[in-house]
Every structure is written in C-alpha cells, then in structure tokens.
Amino acid sequence: MIQLKDLDKYIESRFQRIFILKGLNLTINEGEFITLMGPSGAGKSSLLNILGLLDDDYAGEYSFGGKDIKSMKDKERSSLHKSEFGYIFQAYHLIDELTVYENIETPLLYRNVSSAERKSIIANLLDRFNMVAKKDLFPAQLSGGQQQLVGVARAIAGRPRVLLADEPTGNLHSGQAREIMEVFQELHKEGTTIIQATHARENADFGTRLINLIDGRIEKDEVIIQK
C-alpha cells in the first residue's frame, strides 16, 4: 500500500546538508501494525509527517496505493490525507475552542457522515474512553492524559485506513497506555494499518513489525511474533 524509494529528507545549513532521513526504502502492506523506535532525533516524527502527507519537502519517491504522491495535485493529496489517514500527534493538537465532543466530531464532518451516525460513533468512543461526563468540556479543562485520549478518539472516529500515531502513550499512565494499545490491537484486527512511533518497547509487542531508526536510517526491521 505504501512504498518509499530512496527517500531523503534534509535541511541545508550554511556549510553542509544535514540529513534527517537518509536513503529510506520501505514497503508497508495494508493491515500491518508497525512500531517505529529509535533515540530522540532519529527521525521518527519526520517520517510519520511524510507518510501522513503533512510534509512534502523530501527527495525520493513515496507512492500510496500505487500512486506517486509528488505527482498528485494539492487538492488530490489533501483529499487523500483526509479520507485515508488518522493522525495522533505527540502534542494533542486539539482545537481549543471546541468541546471534547466537537473535537472528536471534526474528522466525521470531513467525511460527510450523517448526523445520527456521528452521534452514535461519538457516544461509543466517549464510552470506550470513559469520557462521557467530559464531553462538553474544553481541552484546557482536561489533564494531559485525558487530552491524549481525546486525540486518539478523534483520530479513530473516521475509521481511517491508516492510523499514524506519534508517541500515543507518551503522556499516559500505564493503565491508560495499555488501554490505547488494546484499542490499536482491535483496530488492527479490523484491518486498519497502524504505524506508531514510541519509546516504550512494550508497545511494540502489540504490533507485527518493529523498525528501528537511527540517525535517519533504518537500522533494523524485524517481525514481531504475536504471543
């Protein structure tokens, strides 16, 4: 489904080119659950941004479903981004002026989901994350962990084909972290392709493949055997 060929991302400093990602060759099949690990600064977030079509400043090839991303028109790329990807950001990125309920609703509005269906999807998610009582609060009224849960609920509300998650459990205590990984596991069983960046090795055990990035290169790429 996703193919990267000789992908480089770099910045030009005064004296040299600094590589953030270097020579990445990667094939991701539909239904994989991939964990990206590696030290801080290894390029995990940069890679997720490129995969999620949030950054097109790179060299090399990226194709999605056999279509080259660079040769798409902006409109086509942005519609692909909205229709196929769900994105969980490291720093929540919730909309401050919208309530918990409305934040979760946003991706459904892009997808023209009917109002009755939206209500039922959101009710289910609020229930799943124990946030029913918080639905009319604004992000600033929630703890960091609760904001992260809303971010997860929003990303999965539209049932994206590909879920990208940057440190999805970074601000959560271990119980909440496990809950998120169990939600990912269910989505994976339902066929969602998942790519998560994390520092927590235990999160990788929920997935099917572990890729280690070091200095913008793939250092290791291994299959995770499910217990």
Ligand X SMILES: Nc1ncnc2c1ncn2[C@@H]1O[C@H](COP(=O)(O)OP(=O)(O)O)[C@@H](O)[C@H]1O
Min. distance of Cβ 65 from ligand X in angstroms? 25
Q: Which is nearer to ligand X, 46 or 146 (CB)?
A: 46
For 137, residues 6+ apart whose C-beta sits below 8 A from its C-beta are 99, 100
- Partner whose binding site includes residue 20, from ligand X, Mg ion, none (CB under 5 to 8 Å by kind): ligand X
Q: Which is nearer to ligand X, 38 or 151 (CB)?
A: 38
Q: Which is nearer to ligand X, 193 or 196 (CB)?
A: 196
Min. distance of Cβ 92 from ligand X in angstroms? 16
Ranges within 30-59 binding ligand X (CB under 6 A): 38, 40-46
Min. distance of Cβ 166 from Mg ion in angstroms? 6
**Spatial separation of the C-alpha atoms in residues 100 and 146, rounded to whole Å:** 10
Ranges within 58-87 binding ligand X (CB under 6 A): none
Q: How many residues bind ligand X (CB under 6 A)?
A: 10
Is there binding between residue 148 and Mg ion (CB under 5 A)? Answer: no
Q: Which is nearer to ligand X, 55 or 102 (CB)?
A: 55
Are 130 and 58 spatial neighbours (Cβ–Cβ below 8 Å)?
no
* One of 21, 24, 33, 45 touching Mg ion (CB under 5 A): 45
Ranges within 1-20 binding ligand X (CB under 6 A): 11, 20
For the four alpha carbons of 23, 12, 197 and 139, in that order, the dihedral sign comes to: negative
Q: Could you tell me which stretch among 40-48, 54-62, 140-148, 185-193 binds Mg ion (CB under 5 A)?
A: 40-48
Min. distance of Cβ 41 from ligand X in angstroms? 4
Q: Which is nearer to Mg ion, 37 or 100 (CB)?
A: 37
Question: What HEC string does the chain produce?
Answer: CEEEEEEEEEEECCCCEEEEEEEEEEEECCCCEEEEECCCCCCHHHHHHHHCCCCCCCEEEEEECCEECCCCCHHHHHHHHHHHEEEECCCCCCCCCCCHHHHHHHHHHHCCCCHHHHHHHHHHHHHHCCCHHHCCCCHHHCCHHHHHHHHHHHHHHCCCCEEEEECCCCCCCHHHHHHHHHHHHHHHHCCCEEEEECCCHHHHCCCCEEEEEECCEEEEEEECCCC
Q: Which is nearer to ligand X, 32 or 167 (CB)?
A: 167
Site residues (CB under 6 A) for ligand X?
A: 11, 20, 38, 40-46
Site residues (CB under 5 A) for Mg ion?
A: 44-45
